[in-house]
Amino acid sequence: MNWLLVLAGAAIGAPLRHLTDRAVQARHDSVFPWGTFTVNVAGSLVLGLLTGVTSAQAHLLLGTGLCGALTTYSTFSYETLKLYEGGARAYAAANVTGTLAAGLGAVWLGAEASRLF
């Protein structure tokens, strides 16, 4: 039965990732992958918030399912490589450092916020 929770979360997370990526990227006239950056940071925040939730079902639905389908390490890696190969090395470096810093900051902020509830 647990796999149904993961499936349900992923069924929401995957389209949410695609729609968010397209909406964010359409607003920026830049080679920087703002859409992927946004979904990865948002997913980190949600995972941080989940640290205060004790329900295993919520973790399967929201953590594994939703955030697993929403966030994307592979696309982050691919886009960073393409930036580097395309000569946009400063953007590639900014993508790596910015994603790591913002993702860690977001998960920390979410974890801290979860302690308030």
Is 98 annotated as contributing to ligand binding?
A: no
Per-domain residue ranges of the chain: 2-114
Is 68 annotated as contributing to ligand binding?
A: yes
pLDDT digits 0-9 by tens, 1-21 = 899 999 999 999 999 999 999
Pick out the chain residues at pLDDT < 70.
none
Cβ-based neighbour number of residue 99 at 10 Å: 20
The reported pLDDT for the residue numbered 54 is: 85
Contact call for residues 43 and 107 (beta carbons, < 8 A)? no
Nearest to 5 by CA among 69, 45, 70, 59: 59
